[in-house]
Structure formats: C-alpha cells, structure tokens
Amino acid sequence: MTRIAAIQRWPVKGLGPDPLEDVELRAGDPLAFDRAWAIENGPSGFDPVAPKPLPKSRFLMLMKNERLAALATAFDAETRRLTIFRHGKQVAAGRLDEPVGRSIIEQFFAAYMANELRGVPRLLSAEAHTFSDVGAPVVSLIGQGSLAELERVAGRTIDPLRFRANFHMAGLAPWAEFDLIGHRLALGADVVLRVIEPITRCAATNVDPATGARDMQIPRLIDNAFGHSEFGVYAEVVQGGRVRRGDAMTVLDETSVRPALPF
C-alpha cells in the first residue's frame, strides 16, 4: 500500500520546513503558506498588487546561498510568526504579516547574508501568490523507493529534505511516481490530485539541509546513474479536503495515457 509518510510546507522560500501531521488542501491551490514568502536579494521588480512569477535568482535561495541551510525555523500558521534558530539558539523572530515583524527578520538577514546580498533584503508576499520554482499553484511528491535507490548508487544516506517536497510517499517502487504523470490520485478519503510533470532538480539539492555544506552533486548523480535529472513530481489539487500522515494513496484512472517522458 502506498501511503503518506511525511507532510511538509516551506513558508519562506529558501528556509526550513514546517512539518505537518495533517493539512487541508483546496482545489487549485498549493498547501496553505507553502512558499508564501520570499526574501528579495536586491531589487526584484516584484509587484504585490499584480504578482507574477520571477526567476528564483532574484531571491535568496539554496542553489546560491547555502548559508540559509544552517538556519532552523519554526512557523506558527495561526499567528504567522516565524522564529529562526542558529546552532540551536533563537536569533530572530517576528510576524510575517506585520511590518515590525518583517523588519526584524529583514534586519537579521541583512547582517547574516551581508556578503551575498545585492541590496536590502525584503520579505515579499502577495495574496494567493506562491514563490514556487514553477510559478504555479502545485504540490510536490517524492517516493521513498526512489530515494532508497538514489542512496544505493550514492553509497550513503541522503536526507529527503534536500528535495523540499510537500509529500513523501512510502510504498512506491523506485521511479514509479513518473508512471503517475497524467493520472488522478486519491489521497485519503477526499483529496484528488492530478500529477502533471516530473521535477527537474537543480544545485539546491547539493546542500546538506542540516549543516549547510555543499557536499553532494545530486543532479549529476541522478543523470550519471539513471540518465535523467528528475526526482519527484508536481501535481495539482483537483478536489480539496484534509489529508493526514499515514493516509493511503490510490490511482483513480489506471487506463489514462500519460505523456511521454524525456528519458
């Protein structure tokens, strides 16, 4: 049986996860508060009144700014409060929906990331906007079977948080998530997803999320071993509802035809 082994959202792009036991999904939306904020690295041209997807290079991000991974975070969805820790000690905290709280967080990053900034760091957000790399309201899934296969060829343990996914799925054979593209999936009793495309991986996965060390070459490893650079899949929420860790996943349309993959 395939089931949900873990659920995470990533409230601030480039920062740590918010692990969840359960979450309410809405049709056409990502997880609530997933990539809802981003830290501008110099003037980005982002307009909160008319938000549009922008290249991730305009924000602080793990692909270029691995020091971010040395920070741990805690997010309170009820108060919108973000707390940042370094070496186990609190270094900043503030409400992301209030000017004073944002200013406290911004001042911390102005000091902590001083050598990597192109301008004053600003916390950006906009109603119903997500700062996901695809610029679309999607959720992401990775299979634990694929991770185990990647660990086998790497000869070492690989933290799944390197892949910054929303759902970790147990019970899938290695790379079986790619066979789900074009299919509708039921999660738990109510939620329906439609898997739309594989996730092409970038250098952000090379950074150890526990230490901030750039200690692997994940995209190169996948390409050398398997002939592609994808890990995990994106899906859109077709029907909303609540899902919980441990809920089962079933394929609803076994006969649908998926698009051809590039590998």
Residue 258 clears pLDDT 60, i.e. is over it: no
Sort strands 38-40 and 122-124 into parallel, antiparallel or unpaired: antiparallel
The number of CA neighbours under 13 Å toward the Cβ of 66 is: 15
What one-character-per-residue DSSP string does 39-62 give?
A: EESS-----SSS-----GGGB--T
Alpha helices (H) along the chain: 99-112, 144-154, 218-226
The values of phi and psi at residue 220, to 5°, are -65, -40
Alpha-carbon distance 190 to 227, whole Å?
A: 36
Alpha-carbon distance 246 to 236, whole Å?
A: 20
Q: Whole-prediction pTM value?
A: 0.92
Q: Are 11 and 75 in contact (CB under 8 A)?
A: yes
pLDDT interval class at 28 (50, 70, 90)? very high
CB within 8 Å of 187: residues ≥ 6 apart: 4, 167, 193, 243, 247, 248, 249
Q: What is the mean pLDDT of residues 41-66?
A: 92
Alpha-carbon distance 126 to 13, whole Å?
A: 14
Q: Is 96 helix (H, G, I), strand (E, B) or coil?
A: coil
Q: What is the mean pLDDT of residues 33-38?
A: 97
Q: Which of 13, 9, 8, 10 is nearest to 123 (CA)?
A: 13
Nearest 5 degrees, angle CA 157-CA 161-CA 165?
A: 130
In this predicted model, what pLDDT tens digit does every residue of 168-193 receive, in sequence order?
Answer: 999 999 999 999 999 999 999 999 99
In this predicted model, what pLDDT tens digit does every residue of 199-254 receive, in sequence order?
Answer: 999 999 999 998 889 999 999 999 999 999 999 999 999 999 999 999 999 999 76
CB within 8 Å of 77: residues ≥ 6 apart: 18, 32, 33
Residue 115 clears pLDDT 90, i.e. is over it: yes
Ranges for all domains in the chain classified under CATH 2.40.33.20: 2-29+134-251
For the record, the structure tokens of 90 come out as 């609190």
Q: What is the CATH number of domain 2-29+134-251?
A: 2.40.33.20
